[in-house]
Structure 1
């Protein structure tokens, strides 16, 4: 079998984006058990991203959910708090299919992220051996590296004016797959907190979309889960990945709606 032509490891979200198809993701901040993977799968989500920036999630819980997602064909991404290569490596070794880093503001930070996620010669991540993403198959080292690096995703977030100022350089970094716009933090940074339909936020999205299109990178929409009208607008303009909201907001909204039925 030609393993380069027929990879053993598939990142379905990355494949859909490569085909120009849309990818819908659910953020996980509350649920610590593998049940959330099945819920995401049944609900029709292509991906989950586990938020280690704004939660008390343990690495063990994140890894268990990643492995459950991989078995169901739901792509597990993990948002880490920062650019700590040793921690990023542990997250990847636990089963993640990609890393999201908040507040990236320079091409050098983006290159640091690529080096943390990828193995040599692209990066500098240590080879851990049999990987959970591949169900612990014993593979030759060169094939293992190839499989993991081809499937993994590197996703810097654009959430600040400094990030916008450097967005063309960030998008041009080899190994970066997608830029994810964090509209909530970005609106605060731009002086219009919470005004997600403000012209400044719109112009920022257009700037990111233009930079990604010029460099062959995917565009992710974040922070607009409550504004499907805006999400549709940016999808029409070229975005492909949508962070639809998190499990806390889903549960709270459904609970409130159910309670109101009995008024």
Structure 2
């Protein structure tokens, strides 16, 4: 029996967020094989995202990983290197169930990302038959496009000081699902890179969470993998998506700990 569109396009991240549950994510920058999707799923992550902004992955590699994620039932997002239709629509066509747009600074830019990521009537993403999200099955275009709009997540990075001043109007943009605070870029722009205890960091989260609550959007935490205390604080304040770190940092951390443990045996 052919599964329904809703069964095929189930997005467990959206479901968890709708229940006000915390979503655990990891970032992929190093591992180019589809194995990383299974590793993320087996490790217990709710999702992962490929960071095309900061890695050399091709669209082909990115799509292969996203398609593997679809098959095992873990939603995969992609942070694009530029907020342009040739990146946004192509990573979505390739299997991503959400796009993360960096360096958004205004409501106008936010609306552009939505337009590129969603089919009409919410946007003007070009229709494309035979998507991996649909298991390459054929469905009426109107039904498929509306269902894909419901599945797809539009996540905007709040990593510019200018964006914080405009967070209220950015959060109000229809079609945006989440604002993900980029703590590292924010502190760098303030001239205090890595100084997460600066009161402006907490104020940025407070301002973003308040705006998102008002407009029915979700808030994500980025760049605080080294500060679980602050992650807990901002989750208690209302953030619900946690970017926990990169595959590279996890590998280096585990390797370093093992090497130190063996070295300690000879002392």
Q: TM-score, normalised by structure 1?
A: 0.97
Distance of 1:188 and 1:150 partners within structure 2: 35
Deviation at 1:3, TM superposition (A): 5.9
Task: Give the 3-state SS of the residue equivalent to 1:26 in structure 2.
Answer: strand
Residue 123 (str. 1) matches residue 88 (str. 2): no
Distance of 2:150 and 2:130 partners within structure 1: 16
Distance of 1:190 and 1:207 partners within structure 2: 16
Deviation at 1:7, TM superposition (A): 4.9
Counterpart of 1:253 in structure 2 is 253
CA contact (8 A) 1:98 1:152 kept: yes
Task: Give the 3-state SS of the residue equivalent to 2:262 in structure 1.
Answer: coil
Distance of 1:191 and 1:200 partners within structure 2: 12
Residue 230 (str. 1) matches residue 230 (str. 2): yes
State the Cα deviation string for residues 143-191 of structure 1 (Å, max 9, x = none).
1101111000001100011010111100000000000000000011122
Counterpart of 1:92 in structure 2 is 92
Counterpart of 2:151 in structure 1 is 151
CA contact (8 A) 2:117 2:154 kept: yes
Distance of 1:189 and 1:171 partners within structure 2: 21
Counterpart of 1:57 in structure 2 is 57
Counterpart of 2:24 in structure 1 is 24
CA contact (8 A) 1:159 1:183 kept: yes
Matches within 5 A, 1:130-141: 130-141=130-141
State the Cα deviation string for residues 194-252 of structure 1 (Å, max 9, x = none).
11121111111111111111110000000001111111111111010000000010001
Unmatched runs of 5 consecutive residues or more in structure 2: none
Task: Give the 3-state SS of the residue equivalent to 1:262 in structure 2.
Answer: helix
More displaced 10-residue stretch of structure 1: 126-135 or 112-121: 126-135
- The alignment of Structure 1 onto Structure 2 pairs a total of residues equal to 262
Spell out structure 1 runs of 4+ moving beyond 3 A: 1-4
CA contact (8 A) 2:8 2:133 kept: no
Distance of 1:133 and 1:147 partners within structure 2: 10
How much is the aligned-residue C-alpha RMSD, in angstroms?
1.4
Counterpart of 1:35 in structure 2 is 35
